Structure 1
């Protein structure tokens, strides 16, 4: 039997030892790729678009459209793998969404967009913010809060926020998988302007004139439109606007704002007001153990491995905490991955329990340690080797995909039991065609998921991919790995008294089943009543 099993395992090209080594190496590669899988709680749709957003304070929509949006949109339209470009210009801000073609690499597209922005940035009007690129469309910008921390210390909230923004924020935002870091909680500063009513009355100046003078600083006003006739581009309309010069945040700049021209003399704001910068009145106070606090929220990318990102954040914060002043403390207030870890852990434990129950039944039926060892090794190699395909096809691990792994276990074990028993009894691979046919039938039923609507398909696609990959790997293991293991472990069918007792037991069960069929056929009414009352109870 050993020689026959060896020929079956290697098909006279590879020895059983070589096949075993190949499958073990594939299992080790799968274990190494496990941390690179995307792990999340629920299935989510990874958008196939990038959005560029920018701001221009107080600018009119027509100005932003002509001076910023049109320029960027024209440059982006020359990029490859762009399916659609959507833009919107509003008062003070705008955005452009680029929808990539199916299968396009978003990282490459992001790099090309960054190059375009870098080239156009010097030619954009003064006051326009540097365009930022984010994943997804502007209509779908719900942020995924990963973790939330509180920075507390024996200092004012403004000092804490300045420390967080200058020391913590740049290093946390550089972590791969972090899309945004928000720091808030301090009371902002404001310019306070105090005027003397008696002085204004003497000069004949009303308070609303002061307000109008301040409001006019940096304001943009439309002067109309100009019709341009271009032979190459056709006729188009250009809005014409004028913007008054702004001021920097200094006392002298505020004081030099003109208010009124009286008798050829210009009265400036500094002659009428006392200008000073002060902290705004706090609307509420929040302290922990008598210390002021600042909130730091970290948001993750939708497609990032949230557990891996949270681990990287923890390592970076451990390093940053060691460099913080002794009277500053960082406290974790919320961690979304804790619930994720608990739910995935419970689901994994349930799947493992189901697997152990199946293995116990296999052992009780065969009572052969080598037989059980072959099934266990094949299951381990199957699940770990499948990780390679999970990684290559971008399959995400979440509650739904773990359910798919659990469902596929019973089918995989059936394939292994059928193949192993047939090898032991018939010493051939003829049963593989039956295994292949039944497995392909199951895989064919899962193809329906790929034709569902977008929402349903995005929810179930990982479930289908997990089952398809696991069953496909099980077919290769049944054809190559099981014969090699049977040969290497020298597993033989049990003969003698055990085989006789087994045949006697099967004969008794067949006799009992035959008597049941005869009874049910003669007394159909009784069987119908039993079924009705069983459902009724």
Structure 2
């Protein structure tokens, strides 16, 4: 009895097939957990420093301020690029940092340097204002916007949204923030007694200064501590007017009279009231408040949006008469359309490739092997997409589509080699060809930061797909061929050789 050839690895055929089936099932379970975005949400950390100098011409601002500040900023570590814009009476500088820096720490470092060098700037130049150009580390993008209408005052509608709707939406998994706006802002009004102020020898400016000092939070600078044989440690100092975690008006000291500290509530009354309206916004004659919902990063925006819509539908049914909620913006609609469009194109390209395979091989078993291996490649790749926190967006889908051809090529080469040569020695050639393609894609990780932010997910998706296709070709295809038998085929050259041998033997 002739023993059949065994082409799989040192593991048994059954074991290899079971391992790959388990990986396929796990990959399918990962699909709802993948992060679906329209565009990449990666960013380059940067800060913008702006200032003003009244009545100063652009040439003087450039020489006296911009050049000085640029020289100071070049001493900061981790800076990738410094760009400036100077104009009459002011200017700004944008500082881009390496991708992995702690931007908040860099902001403190820059602030301390600017404070230490403030004397080098002209007298009338305002103190530079620093703003961080970065989304939150967890925030993604706004996915839904709602409008809450009612026949009550805008302040009452605002409180309803803050106390009822906002907490309910915040409980949806994947929601990062819920912002409510559109109502007239509230303000604190301080009404002081002029007679009491005169009695203690104070003026209204004393109240203003007392409140400013109580709410003060100022960065004083930083100091370096060098430990012998250890790393340098830098400490930043911040001056705060109120050391307590809670805010209270009756704790604000205004003056001292007759050996007694006079607090703000001793000479003034404080009340919270609505600001004078600057504008009105109504829909169908009803006051309106807007609600924006932002999803976190590395989450499925479509899944999060569905959860938020379910919550809003429940709240809509519980609202009192005269109130209504309408969806003003749904960014996931366009996301669904684009993803569906790209999935359709990807499926169409796969169908064309499989039809081409069927036309060449004219065997349904052969087509079945190619199809199973392709499904295994994609689903197993989903596991690595999740582990490496890759985002599935338009660029990622393009990478998946591009890699289909190479995936099928690796499968066909290994299948035909085992079919004709009865071994897996072609695996070395597949490894070399795949490594060459991966090496070409690695160049993307050495591009400038702006290009890398856009193309990183594309390159990572293709590299993962090719690596998985190599593992499938080397291990899964041989085991699959032992379960799905293909009829042996002989090419024309082999047939001619056999005929020559037959004639010679006659």
Q: TM-score of the superposition, structure 2-length normalised? A: 0.64
Partner of 1:491: 486
Quick one: which of 153, 165, 169 aligns to 2:166? 169
Quick one: which of 410, 433, 438 aligns to 1:438? 433
Q: Secondary structure at the match of 2:132?
A: coil
Runs of 4+ off more than 4 Å: 46-49, 81-84, 87-91, 189-195, 209-214, 238-243, 268-271, 273-281
Map 1:473-492 to 2 at 5 A: 473-492=468-487
CA 1:173/1:480 → structure 2, altered by over 3 Å: closer, same or farther? same
Q: Secondary structure at the match of 1:149?
A: strand
Contact persistence 1:40–1:396 (CA under 8 A): yes
Partner of 1:157: 154
Partner of 1:393: 388
Q: Find out whether 1:340 has 2:360 as its counterpart.
A: no
Quick one: which of 461, 465, 472 aligns to 1:470? 465
Aligned-residue offset at 1:334: 0.9
CA 1:290/1:413 → structure 2, altered by over 3 Å: closer, same or farther? same
Quick one: which of 94, 100, 106 aligns to 1:86? 106
Aligned-residue offset at 1:415: 1.1
Aligned-residue offset at 1:385: 0.6
Partner of 2:16: 19
CA 1:3/1:163 → structure 2, altered by over 3 Å: closer, same or farther? farther
Q: Secondary structure at the match of 1:282?
A: coil
Partner of 2:8: 9
Quick one: which of 211, 215, 222 aligns to 1:218? 211
1:238-274 Cα offsets, whole Å, 9 max, x none, are 999999xxx978xxx9xxx999x9xxxxxx9999x99
Q: Secondary structure at the match of 1:218?
A: helix
Q: Find out whether 1:138 has 2:132 as its counterpart.
A: yes
| Separation (CA, whole Å) in 2 of partners of 1:334 and 1:188 | 24
1:389-440 Cα offsets, whole Å, 9 max, x none, are 1122222211111111111110111111111122222222222222222112
Contact persistence 1:2–1:490 (CA under 8 A): no
| Separation (CA, whole Å) in 2 of partners of 1:90 and 1:323 | 51
1:466-521 Cα offsets, whole Å, 9 max, x none, are 111111111121122212222212221357xxx77xx99xxxxxxxxxxxxxxxxx
1:30-83 Cα offsets, whole Å, 9 max, x none, are 01112222221222326799xxxxxxxxxxxxxxxxxxxxxxxxxxxxxxx997
Aligned-residue offset at 1:290: 2.9
| Separation (CA, whole Å) in 1 of partners of 2:109 and 2:415 | 67
1:342-381 Cα offsets, whole Å, 9 max, x none, are 2222112111111111111111111211111110111001
Q: Find out whether 1:366 has 2:361 as its counterpart.
A: yes
Contact persistence 2:144–2:329 (CA under 8 A): yes
Q: Secondary structure at the match of 1:152?
A: strand
| Separation (CA, whole Å) in 2 of partners of 1:239 and 1:181 | 30
Contact persistence 1:412–1:471 (CA under 8 A): yes
CA 1:241/1:400 → structure 2, altered by over 3 Å: closer, same or farther? closer
Quick one: which of 402, 408, 423 aligns to 1:407? 402
CA 1:190/1:421 → structure 2, altered by over 3 Å: closer, same or farther? closer
Contact persistence 2:420–2:489 (CA under 8 A): no
Aligned-residue offset at 1:443: 1.4
Contact persistence 2:213–2:241 (CA under 8 A): yes
Q: Find out whether 1:41 has 2:35 as its counterpart.
A: no
Aligned-residue offset at 1:291: 2.4
Q: TM-score of the superposition, structure 1-length normalised? A: 0.61
Partner of 2:454: 459
Q: Secondary structure at the match of 1:300?
A: strand
| Separation (CA, whole Å) in 2 of partners of 1:172 and 1:399 | 28
| Separation (CA, whole Å) in 2 of partners of 1:450 and 1:441 | 16
CA 1:347/1:82 → structure 2, altered by over 3 Å: closer, same or farther? closer
- Aligned pair count reads 389
Contact persistence 1:4–1:427 (CA under 8 A): no
Q: Secondary structure at the match of 2:36?
A: coil
Contact persistence 1:37–1:391 (CA under 8 A): yes
Question: Which ranges of structure 2 fall in alignment gaps of 5 or more residues?
Answer: 47-99, 112-130, 217-236, 258-263, 497-506
Q: Secondary structure at the match of 1:493?
A: coil
| Separation (CA, whole Å) in 2 of partners of 1:306 and 1:27 | 24
Partner of 2:175: 178
Q: Secondary structure at the match of 2:32?
A: helix
| Separation (CA, whole Å) in 1 of partners of 2:306 and 2:366 | 40
Partner of 1:308: 303
Q: Superposition RMSD on alpha carbons, in Å?
A: 4.7
| Separation (CA, whole Å) in 1 of partners of 2:486 and 2:102 | 59
| Separation (CA, whole Å) in 1 of partners of 2:414 and 2:239 | 80
Q: Secondary structure at the match of 1:181?
A: strand
